[in-house]
Amino acid sequence: MKYAILSDIHANLEALETVLARCRELAVDYYISLGDIVGYNANPHECLEIMRKLPVVAYVKGNHDEYASNGDTVMAGFNPHAKSAVLWTQNMLSDEERAFLSGLEYKEQIKGTPFTAVHASLDSPAEWGYIFDIHQVKDTFSYQHTQFCFCGHSHVPVAYCKKTLIRPGELPIDELKLWAVKPDEEGMMFRSDEADEIVLPVQRGCKYLINVGSVGQPRNRDPRASFAVFDTEQNTITRYRLPYDIAGTQEKIRAAGLPDCLATRLEHGM
């Protein structure tokens, strides 16, 4: 069985279509949506429509999903450009679409799988906390009751492993640096300019906390759409990075009258 894990699509239709085309090539069976289907970019309705037609085993709510559906026009903590995009998105969605987003859970333990899905952090999912350091990682692991937890929100791919049995000299929690960059033939780490994939073999006796990166607005200085696929037969998690039609997305952002910086940042992945 193959599960594709998608996060932070942010109404980027070109990126989403590129990712789904790859998923079809990979013969993905099911999908997990980690939130923020809407926000920032110019195709919220189209992205929602596509995602709702897929065999999705879990949707969780992102902060942009929440503000686009709850009528909040203050949006404390949002920067002006993000706020502008959410206000625009509120007007683009139908009542039924807003009701769908509003009804999503903040986190979900997916029945019949070893997966938990959350947009932000497990310890305070409705407060939209970011996972940036080891203290936040520990907090989320303490609430994680499945072997795998997939998250998004920061738009930066990162992965951590918590060992259940620790050998002398080992740390209980390791950051898996392979997940964010690619090793060359001599083991040196670098970021490739080509579409690539990073395979993470699953080890026994470990819990995993994995941020899959962003489909629609990467912020790790790599503008390619990022997502992951869990293969239950191979017992691997693979992160894919795919180039897409950034110029087409930028043109739509500008045509919609959204802040120009939202278009510019896409080409820089930041």
Mean pLDDT of 195-223: 93
pLDDT at 229: 98
pLDDT band with cut points at 50, 70 and 90 for residue 216: very high
pLDDT at 258: 97
pLDDT band with cut points at 50, 70 and 90 for residue 78: confident
Is the pLDDT at 126 greater than 90? The verdict is yes
Q: What is the dihedral of CA 109, 114, 118, 119, to 10 degrees?
A: -150
Distance CA 247, CA 249 (A): 5
Q: Which of 54-58, 126-130, 162-166 has the highest mean pLDDT?
A: 54-58
Distance CA 235, CA 223 (A): 28
pLDDT at 74: 80
The whole-angstrom distance between residue 112's C-alpha and the CA centroid of its chain comes to: 22
% of the chain beyond a pLDDT of 70:
93
Distance CA 174, CA 171 (A): 6
**Range scoring the smallest mean pLDDT among 21-30, 48-57, 68-77, 92-101:** 68-77
Q: Which residue has the higher pLDDT, 195 or 145?
A: 145
pLDDT at 195: 60
Mean pLDDT of 255-261: 97
Q: Would you give the DSSP letter of residue 11?
A: T
pLDDT band with cut points at 50, 70 and 90 for residue 56: very high
Class of domain 2-268: alpha beta
Distances (CA, A) of 124 to 7, 64, 69, 143, 236: 18, 16, 20, 10, 28
pLDDT at 191: 53
pLDDT at 71: 82
Is the pLDDT at 241 greater than 70? The verdict is yes
Is the pLDDT at 125 greater than 60? The verdict is yes
Nearby residues of 128 by Cβ (< 8 Å), 6 or more positions away: 63, 77, 119, 120, 153
Domain positions in the chain are: 2-268
Mean pLDDT of 192-211: 85
Query: What is the average pLDDT score of the chain?
Result: 92
Is the pLDDT at 215 greater than 90? The verdict is yes
Is the pLDDT at 192 greater than 90? The verdict is no
Mean pLDDT of 11-28: 98
Mean pLDDT of 234-245: 96
pLDDT at 144: 96
Mean pLDDT of 205-221: 96
Is the pLDDT at 189 greater than 80? The verdict is no
Token pair listed for 109: 């333990």
Q: Contact, 68 vs 93, CB < 8 A?
A: yes
Q: What is the dihedral of CA 143, 3, 176, 201, to 10 degrees?
A: 120
